[in-house]
Structure 1
Amino acid sequence: MYLMYSFTVVRRKHLPTVSLCMLLFVIHTETYENLAFRKPAWQQHKWPGEPLDVDWGAAKVVDGKYTDRSESGNQCAISAPGQTTATWRVDLGSVVSINHIDIYYRTDNLPSPGRYFSRFAGFFLYVSNTTSKDDGHLCFHEIQNVNGTPVENQTISCSVHGRYVIYYNERRPGVTYPSYYWHEAYNELCEVEVYGCPDPKYYGVNCDQQCPVNCQGKTCDVSTGHCLGCIPGYQGLRCSQVCDVKTYGPQCSLSCGNCSDGETCHNVNGTCLQGCDEGVEAEKCQTRQFSYKQRNIKINFLTNKLAINCTCLNEITCRPGFHGKNCGQRCSHNCNVTNHCNRFTGECDGGCKPGWKMPTCQQECDGGMYGAGCTHSCGPCLDNKQCHHVNGTCLNGCSSGHQGRHCEENCTDGHFGMNCENSCTLYCGRNGSCDRITGMCDSGCIDDWRGPLCGSAEELSSCTSCTADDSIAIILSLVISVIIVITGSVVNFVIWKRNQSENPRRGLNENSKCQLETVNNSDIQSGKDRIGSPYAELTDTNQPNMYEGIHHYTEAAGKIYDEI
């Protein structure tokens, strides 16, 4: 801030007194620091043989003095005459954050336009990180077409980061310039002031506000705080927003791979946090992901460009024999080309081996089909069961009336039933044929034979369609018949045994508990008048007669036979 004190002596006629007035004016206020003040400077063509009392060297442009802008004022740099190019630069010592640049050209202290604007016309102004303007950022260049321009005092806004400020002008042979342009190139600079913040990580009029954390290099525009570039994964003026969906990396310019369920990838490094979708693997799940050898990386802070040169080495997808999310599923060994399938869907290359269903060849043929492509129909297997999925054989046998490996052959004449194991009865009429499923005679029975199978014995042995109640009735009849026969045999045996024991020719049983009744003691003693009958009565006459009991039992048994 510059202050000017003005003292004025006021003289008034007839008034001997003198009034002294002091006026205070603020003529210029600047809060940014002049970063070029007394910094090393250089110019291309130094004036040869400078006068001993005048210095027109490059350092005069940054000494802070420009009140006398004439050749004799010793405050300006003047380059040598007769040149086609003229270059001057100042080294700011490090990369700084620049807001604007002020230039004060030679005027010889005359009002604008002065005598030297034609030499000033057409100039270039660069900011660079090297001493070459070609590596830098062009802050200003204009071909003026109006005589009297440009004005000698210039303020050029150039919000950029850099170390060197370079002034350049040219008058190239063969190039047509406006008619008022001087024919030689000069730099006649009296002062160049570079305003900004010395630390590019801060901004604001007082350089006291820190740049946003996601700015590239932690640097930002010196006046607005807007990032000149973002770190990978972020975007926006202040780099506060993550990359849009499906993008990541520097300037959010890279596309995400095939992440699981269509999710977006990590905004910085592109990795899929929930794994890969079908057909891809590796961290980034990219369908065509290339590994590379890094050759050269160059970041230009002035142009905010990132250049990466690399050599691609190989493509990464699912390994052979794998497919699906994260390539975690194996191709089926039932593929026609074993373990070869589509890396996304798992569909087998060349179809399936016989007995397996497309597309993944993981399921056996079903629905009564078998073989290559599940295009062949099973035969009539027992209980309509599925045949073998590869060769079509009926694993549990054939249905009634069928035989053969695939149960596709009918029973031959004279046979019927499951697997054609039963023979038709001998009592079927005509040619003796019967139904191949039920066994019923095709032409009825021969004479004196009845029933669907033409004979009870044959019906019982070959019946394939009898119900459970019919079988129970037949079994009960057999059991009752056997019981009757056994009972009759026992009774006959008892009668026979009794007859044997009572026969007088074989003698009485000594151990018999029965005693013969004595009719007449005198007869026994004398042996004269013995009863003429060869049989003797038992002594216990009150008990029922044994023969009567047997007679009654025989009658009862006869009635049972009659009922049967």
Structure 2
Amino acid sequence: MICEQNANNFFTTRFLGFSVYISNTTRKEDGLLCFRDTNYTRRTIPNPQSILCRAYGRYVIYYNNRTHPPFPNGYSKDGANNELCEVEVFGCQNPGYYGLNCSSKCPLNCQGGHCDIVEGTCISCTKGYEGTRCAEHCSDNTYGMECKQICGNCINGEQCHPVNGSCLNGCDRGTYGIKCNLACPYGHFGCDCKEKCNINCGVTEKCDRETGECSGGCQAGWKGPRCDQRCTDGKFGLNCSQPCGFCTEKKQCHFINGICVEGCDSGYIGSLCVQNCINNTYGPNCSYNCGNCLYIYGEQCHHVTGRCPRGCSSGYTGDRCQKHVSNASLTVSEEPIIHTNILLYTFVGLFCVSILTNIILTIRNRRLQLKYKPNKQYNEISTCNTVVVHNNTAYDKVDKVENRAEYLECGEFNQASVYECVSSLD
């Protein structure tokens, strides 16, 4: 209460902007701000003034500031001074009660058992509770004082304990700890980090904290997101990308190094069974020798079947040229071939002789036609009967021509020859 209420009272300027705190110590900083003047003027400031403070404490602290702004309008500039004539404090004598005659008990979960002495609402709640009367547990993944703290990663998103935040049924994937707020350490994953990353991860024991999927792929011979599956389907090595060799009965090779554990299929050798048989061998374990094959340099029989690529050497037969042919069987077998060749050669020879004969006859006829030149001034020509030879020159003897205009000139020859004379032309 102000000692004197008057608009012109100078002492009212000392009240403007005052504050009231409730505290359990003499320090206002340890208490609760109950009231602060921000609107009063010298004319409107009430007297007496009643202030309701919904708080519990041992001390009621009246405070005013004149050391730094903000300052209220019309405030006194001669420093901070108090002009209080009387201060009265009313409340329930026994804490934890409220209402008329302080006969009603405060709600159970009110902080410190204190509540509003008029309405009975909790000033604040104990850990794990919320609401005006602190009757509800913390929810929506919150816990603690006034439910302001956030729960960790409880399994399946369950609500943590409303008071201490612990996860009652364990942690979700990738976390561990009482409150499930710690990430899995290196090499672990899963719920409560109980599972270990696979040693076959590309980066040893490094995987996703939640799923366990390996970081950086898998080591040679392994596959799958967690690198927990061996290479199959005829593959081996890094990323299961290399094909197995020709293992016996098409069995799977070793998933890491590709070795055919039970040996090679027919025609192949080596630990990986990718090398063909060599040194004129073939078959299972390259244990058979090739037959008597015809080869070009660097060839051999087929590494699997043993068949010869270009037939057999003389005196041998069969798919693999391993069967010796006797002289008798060789003569019998070659006889039809000899007869066939004779007939073929005979036919070709006769055909060539026929063509040559025709060519000679054609040439001869053309020469004869060129040698005989008829003269149209004569109507008759006699025949030649005899031949006279002088000095290696032959002449035809011509009979007497009887008033005939036609005649035939006999040709001159360099060598003595006898020719048949041509009859007279009509």
User: TM-score of the superposition, structure 2-length normalised?
Assistant: 0.61
Q: Secondary structure at the match of 1:197?
A: coil
Find the partner of 2:277 among 411, 414, 430: 411
Inter-partner Cα distance in structure 2 for 1:173 and 1:246: 44
String of CA shifts for 1:18-73, please: whole Å, max 9, x gaps: xxxxxxxxxxxxxxxxxxxxxxxxxxxxxxxxxxxxxxxxxxxxxxxxxxxxxxxx
1:373-384 equivalences in 2 (<5 Å): 373-384=239-250
Does 1:438 find its partner at 2:333? no
The Cα offsets for residues 483-518 of structure 1, whole Å up to 9 and x where unpaired, read as xxxxxxxxxxxxxxxxxxxxxxxxxxxxxxxxxxxx
Question: Do residues 219 (structure 1) and 86 (structure 2) align?
Answer: no
Aligned partner of residue 260 in structure 2, secondary structure: coil
Aligned partners of 2:171 and 2:85: how far apart in 1?
A: 64
Other structure's SS at 1:158 match: coil
Is the 2:22–2:59 Cα contact (8 Å) retained in structure 1?
yes
Amino acid at match of 1:437: V
Distance 1:170 1:434 in 2: 113
1:323 aligns with 2:196: no
- Cα distance change on mapping 1:276 and 1:140 into 2, 3 Å: closer
RMSD: 4.0
1:58-107 CA distance string (max 9 Å, x none)? xxxxxxxxxxxxxxxxxxxxxxxxxxxxxxxxxxxxxxxxxxxxxx4445
- The alpha carbon displacement at 1:154 in A equals 2.0
Give secondary structure in 2 for the equivalent of 1:138: strand
407-416 or 162-171, which moves further after superposition?
Answer: 162-171
Taking the aligned partners of 2:268 and 2:9, their CA distance within structure 1 comes to 123
- The AA in structure 1 aligned to 2:303 is R
Match of 2:200 in 1: 334
Name the aligned partner's letter for residue 139 of structure 2: D
Aligned to 2:99: 204
CA distance in 1, matches of 2:13, 2:309: 130
Question: Unpaired segments of 5 or more residues in structure 2?
Answer: 325-426
Q: Higher relative contact order at CA 8 Å, sep ≥6: structure 1 or structure 2?
A: 1
Residue 520 of structure 1 is matched in structure 2 by none
- Rounded to whole Å, the distance in 2 between the matches of 1:334 and 1:140 is 68
Change (3 A) 1:173 1:365: closer
Check 1:142–1:455 CA distance in 2 against 1; reply closer, same or farther (3 A cut): closer
Give the partner amino acid of 1:194: V
Contact kept in structure 2, 1:113 and 1:152, CA below 8 Å: no
Residues 276 and 145 (structure 1 numbering): CA distance in 2 closer, same or farther, change over 3 Å?
closer
**Superposition pairs of residues 226-375 of structure 1, within 5 angstroms:** 226-287=121-182, 317-318=184-185, 320-335=186-201, 338-348=204-214, 352-357=218-223, 359-375=225-241
Q: What is the CA-CA distance between 1:392 and the residue it aligns to?
A: 0.8
Q: Give the structure with the larger strand fraction.
A: 1
Kindly indicate whether the alpha-carbon contact (under 8 Å) linking 1:106 and 1:116 is maintained by their aligned counterparts in 2.
no
How far off is 1:406 after superposition?
A: 0.9
Instruction: Provide the C-alpha distance between the structure 2 equivalents of 1:328 and 1:129, rounded to a whole number of angstroms.
Output: 49
| 1:189 is the counterpart of 2:85 | yes
Aligned pair partner of 1:385 in 251, 272, 294: 251
Kept in 1, the 8 Å contact 2:13–2:75? The answer is: no
Q: Is the 8 A contact 1:117 1:148 kept in 2?
A: no
Asked whether the equivalents of residues 128 and 135 of structure 1 are also in contact (C-alpha less than 8 Å), the reply is yes
Aligned partner (choices 142, 148, 160) of residue 43 of structure 2: 148
The structural deviation recorded for 1:121 is 4.0
* Residues 294-327 of structure 1, C-alpha deviations (whole Å, 9 max, x = no match): xxxxxxxxxxxxxxxxxxxxxxx42x44332222
Residue identity matched to 1:189: C
Q: Which amino acid aligns with 1:127?
A: I
In 2 relative to 1, CA 121–435 (structure 1 residues): closer, same or farther, beyond 3 Å? Answer: closer
Structure 1 position 181, deviation (Å): 6.3
- 1:118 maps to amino acid: T
Q: Secondary structure at the match of 2:35?
A: strand
- Say if 1:283 and 1:134 are closer, same or farther in 2 by CA, change over 3 A: closer
Q: Can you list the C-alpha shifts for 1:254-286, whole angstroms capped at 9, x where unaligned?
A: 222233334342222222222223333222221
What is the CA-CA distance between 1:390 and the residue it aligns to? 1.7
CA distance in 2, matches of 1:257, 1:338: 29
Amino acid at match of 2:281: H
- Can you give the 5+ residue segments of structure 1 that lack an aligned partner in the other structure? 1-103, 289-316, 458-564
Separation of aligned partners in 1, 2:323 and 2:75: 140
Q: How far, CA to CA, are the matches of 1:334 and 1:444 in structure 2?
A: 54
1:118 aligns with 2:3: no
**Distance change in 2, residues 1:281/1:447 (3 Å):** same
Secondary structure, in 3 states, of the residue corresponding to 1:127? strand
Amino acid at match of 1:218: G
Deviation string 1:188-209 (CA, Å, 9 cap, x unpaired) is 424x333332233222234233
Separation in 2 of the partners of 1:128 and 1:219?
Answer: 14
Partner of 2:349: none
CA distance in 1, matches of 2:301, 2:159: 75
Deviation at 1:394, TM superposition (A): 0.8
Q: Distance in 2 between matches of 1:410 and 1:173?
A: 100
From 21, 28, 33, give the equivalent of 1:138: 33
- Look up the SS of the partner of 2:58 in the other structure: strand
8 Å contact from structure 1 (residues 355, 370) kept in 2: yes
